[in-house]
Amino acid sequence: MFTTAFQIRVRYAETDQMNVVYHANYATYFEVARTESIRKLGFTYREMEAMGIEMPVTEITMTYLRPARYDDLLTVETVLRELPDNHVISFHQEIFNEKKKLITSGKVTLFFLDRVTKKRTVMPEILREKLKAYFN
């Protein structure tokens, strides 16, 4: 299992007139946290795209339990439970507020695609090597 945590401060732009974070923005928080999760391995999603692999989201589920508000400092936990052995990868993600209350939980599934052909491919070996240590 590979688990990381990243903090995100709620921006004014991300609130709506209900005085809370607009629900679609949590998908962006999840994406930012996945990016930082990979960075902690000493690799970046940007490098992966430069290598010719992209990772479009193919499914997302989000459950909203409590509202987050402007200027809240949120902690996004990102968990990779299984090392993928094909073109599919899934992350479980949870967002907590400063009082450690669960705000939103979700699951995001992405594909590994070849950027040019758009055909399914697999996780690049360089990333698999770095992740292996967390799964045995």
Select from 1, 32, 51, 126 the one that contacts its own copies (CB under 8 A).
32
Q: Tell me how far, at minimum, the Cβ of 3 lies from its own copies, in Å.
A: 21
Q: Tell me how far, at minimum, the Cβ of 59 lies from its own copies, in Å.
A: 5
Q: How many residues bind its own copies (CB under 8 A)?
A: 36
Active site residue 16: yes
SS (H, E, C) the chain: CEEEEEEEECCHHHECCCCCECCCHHHHHHHHHHHHHHHCCCCCHHHHHHCCEECCEEEEEEEECCCCCCCCEEEEEEEECCCCCCCEEEEEEEEECCCCCEEEEEEEEEECEECCCCCECCCCHHHHHHHHCCCC
24 binds its own copies, rule: CB under 8 A: yes
Return the amino acid letter for 43: F
Site for its own copies in 46-65 (CB under 8 A): 46, 54, 56-64
19 binds its own copies, rule: CB under 8 A: yes
Return the amino acid letter for 115: R
40 binds its own copies, rule: CB under 8 A: no
Q: Which residues does the annotation mark as catalytic?
A: 16
Interacting residues with its own copies (CB under 8 A): 9, 11-13, 15-20, 22-25, 27-28, 31-32, 35, 44-46, 54, 56-64, 67, 69-71
